[in-house]
Amino acid sequence: MSFDRIHTSIPADTPFALQVALETSQVVKAKAEACADELASANSRVKQKIADGATMLSAHKALAHSQAVETTVQECADDLTSVTKTLVEGIDDLEQTEIALMHSHKALAQSEAALTVALEGEKQATLRALHDPTTGLPNRVLFDDRLAHAIALAERHGWTLAVMFLDLDRFKSVNDVHGHAAGDSVLKEVARRLSLNCRDEDTVCRNGGDEFLYLLMNPQGSENIERIAGSVVKNIAQPIQIADLQLFIEPSIGIAVYPGDGMSGEQLINNADAAMYRAKKGMSRYALFCAREAETLPA
């Protein structure tokens, strides 16, 4: 009987050493079963020959064959002992592998947690780098980036843009009389009101000090721009309550419109700044840019 090809159902992901041990045990098991069958057959033949009055020589041969089969069975038993030892070692290796995998999974989880913390830290650092710490509004760096992107879109789609330059009148007196903490509270409240007035596609930023910039995306004509500017003036001019203080702040707003008042972000901001100075001197709280104002912009 040949034992070269024994079909097994050992899972493909079983460790190699364990696979070998399991396959060997199945071969040895088959060999032992075959030997047992031969031994039983030999015993039956001996009994039959004795029953038939066979000579002692024939019986001796049958018994010798039986002993040979028994020897083979003993060899199979020895093989099984070896296989058992290998199986135990394989199982131990498997347990060690599982422990190593457990540690690897734990290390991976810790690495993922560390990466999450790092990414959140990077996100917060980027947020701080692009936003004003006092008001939480975008800062000038972020505003310039959005303005450049808006100009590119406006050029592609034939839109208009408007940049409003806001300055808070008599803000310095708030700091001088009530302190910088009161001044910061005013800035935060103005920022909140500007944000409430701002559409999702628009951008408001703190330019520094008591200055703010307001980008209007495709505002659909000067009439709508002036309506928005008037609404901003009205909202900011409402009383600001700080503890037991009630403060009144009014903005002056200068407006420059793309493309007529400038083709770049820098031109639009500078021209809106120039228009803001005219608003400070006039009866209206806001003013649209006109070309001659560029010549009178303070150095």
Enumerate the active-site residues. 210
Query: What is the Cα gyration radius of the chain?
Result: 46
**Residue 237 near residue 250 (C-beta atoms within 8 A):** yes
Among 93, 125, 157, which residue terminates a domain?
125
Q: How far apart are CA 297 and CA 256, in angstroms?
A: 14
Domain shared by 159 and 256, yes or no: yes
Would residue 9 count as lying in a domain?
no
* Average pLDDT value over all residues in the chain: 81
Pairing assessment for the beta strands 251-258 and 286-288 based on DSSP bridges? parallel
Q: Are 180 and 286 in the same domain?
A: yes
Give the percent of the chain with pLDDT over 90. Answer: 50
- Give me the number of domains the chain comprises: 2
pLDDT at res. 46: 56
Per-residue pLDDT of 19-64, as tens digits, reads 666 666 666 667 666 666 666 666 666 566 656 655 444 545 655 6
More confidently predicted of 290 and 186: 186
Taken as a whole, the chain contains a residue count of 299
Instruction: Indicate the residue among 92, 125, 158 that finishes a domain.
Output: 125
Containing structural domain, residue 88? 16-125
List, for residues 244-253, the tens digit of each pLDDT value: 999 999 999 9
CB-CB neighbours of 261 under 10 Å = 24
Query: In this structure, is residue 118 part of a structural domain?
Result: yes
Query: Higher confidence at residue 10 or residue 161?
Result: 161
Whether residue 216 sits in one domain with residue 278? yes
- Per-residue confidence (pLDDT) for residue 2, from 0 to 100: 44
Q: Any idea which residue has 């364990």 for tokens?
A: 18
Tokens linked to 281: 């001197």
Residue 135 maps to a domain: no
**pTM for this prediction:** 0.61
pLDDT digits (tens, 9 = 90+) for 89-113: 667 767 777 787 787 777 777 767 7
Question: Among 203, 220, 184, which residue's Cα sits nearest to residue 269?
Answer: 203
Tell me how far apart the alpha carbons of residues 12 and 119 are, in angstroms, rounded to a whole number.
Answer: 39
CB 186 within 8 A of CB 245: no
Same domain, yes or no, for 48 and 166? no
